[in-house]
Chains A and B, each alone.
Chain A
């Protein structure tokens, strides 16, 4: 059995680990709130943008998606993997890598075999992971340290540029969607080419006679890049909220586990202490008896 001192040392170290995990959980909770606020702030913009786009494409007839709607034979693929900068968030990051691998298995096996799958990593974990595999495009490790539309926009522009040049024939985002604090869903969302918009839900866009300046088509053309950037931004924000949710749950579990461990350690400690006392008493009694027998 471990000595009293060893057990006591372990109790001290587990207690301080528990304090750390508890603090991390609370920090994650605070950051989660902020991340959710960010999503809420972005939502009105996205809704307005979509309603204007729906309004515009209503009468436009043919698809006016321009350069970004071109369906080409898929030879080269860009996968945008969104992870976090830091670990200790449970399976959060490995789920992204798993999702990417599954996506490649299902849809891009031939392209991967030919070495035509590139990765854009948002978040340091993905950067490290795909950096080792050597097919990395761009460097977006600072996105989460100063999260704003402007930093994400740069990444989106690079992907869009690559698509326009024919560098990539398809661009897919893989990220954790925020369902609730405890649940994240891995999503693979096609960014480019633009998928034909699903029929607007019963087109509540009414028949207002708008004046268009300059023309419908030109406005759509100028709005589509924006809406693509917003789509990526949304994915980044969702992933950010998911990250803090995942970390919160992971740290909550870790705190619980540390508690369990402490309980069993305390039990061992008390048993060892009891055993030591018993031995001591036995020794005293034995000594006294030996003295009595010697008289």
Chain B
């Protein structure tokens, strides 16, 4: 699936990933390939991404994530890599 992490200033991450873990407002959850359509609020925390190139993690200060047809978009107010 394709993941994008964007803030108003820049695009922080874009690429194919195999899994992503998000700090949801109601607790952590993981999104894998072919996840059902989802919109979730995020609280401040860590987004952990696993891709072919390895693992990466990003500190976000809250935001929202939308999952639709293997496209995952994270809108964060700010991100520390």
Contacts and interface: CB of A to CB of B under 8 A. Distances in A.
B39 A229 contact: no
Contacts, number: 81
A45 B25 contact: no
Interface in B24-77: 24-26, 29, 36-41, 62-64, 66, 68, 73, 75, 77
A158 to B, nearest CB: 16
Interface string A135-160: 00000000000001110010000000
Contacts of A212: 38-40
A44 B25 contact: no
Interface of B is mostly: strand
Contacts of A214: 25-26, 40-41
Interface in A220-268: 222-223, 226, 229-230, 233
Interface of A is mostly: helix
**Which of B7, B10, B63, B75 counts the most A-chain CB atoms under 10 A from its CB?**
B75
Contacts of A52: 39, 64, 66, 75
A149 B9 contact: yes
A148 B9 contact: yes
Contacts of A218: 25, 41
Given A48-B66, A213-B25, A226-B77, A56 B6 contact: no
A215 to B, nearest CB: 9
B8 interface: yes
Nearest to A208: B37
Q: Report the contact-size class of chain A (Cβ under 8 Å from the partner).
A: 20 to 34
Contacts of A230: 8
| Interface residue range, chain B | 20 to 34
B78 A150 contact: yes
A213 B39 contact: yes
A6 interface: no
Contact of B64 (A44, A148, A149, A219): A219
A293 interface: no
B80 to A, nearest CB: 11
Interface string B1-35: 00000111111000000000000111001000000
A44 B68 CA distance: 16
Nearest to A55: B39
Given A52-B64, A56-B39, A219-B40, A42 B8 contact: yes
A73 interface: no
Nearest to A209: B37
A196 to B, nearest CB: 22
Contacts of A38: 9
Contacts of A210: 37-39, 68
A44 B10 CA distance: 9
B55 to A, nearest CB: 24
26 contacts: A38-B9, A41-B8, A41-B10, A41-B11, A44-B6, A48-B73, A48-B75, A52-B39, A52-B66, A148-B9, A149-B7, A149-B8, A149-B9, A150-B78, A208-B37, A211-B40, A212-B40, A213-B29, A213-B38, A213-B39, A213-B40, A214-B40, A214-B41, A219-B39, A226-B63, A226-B75
Interface of B: 6-11, 24-26, 29, 36-41, 62-64, 66, 68, 73, 75, 77-78
Interface of A: 38, 41-42, 44-46, 48-49, 52, 55-56, 148-150, 153, 208-214, 218-219, 222-223, 226, 229-230, 233
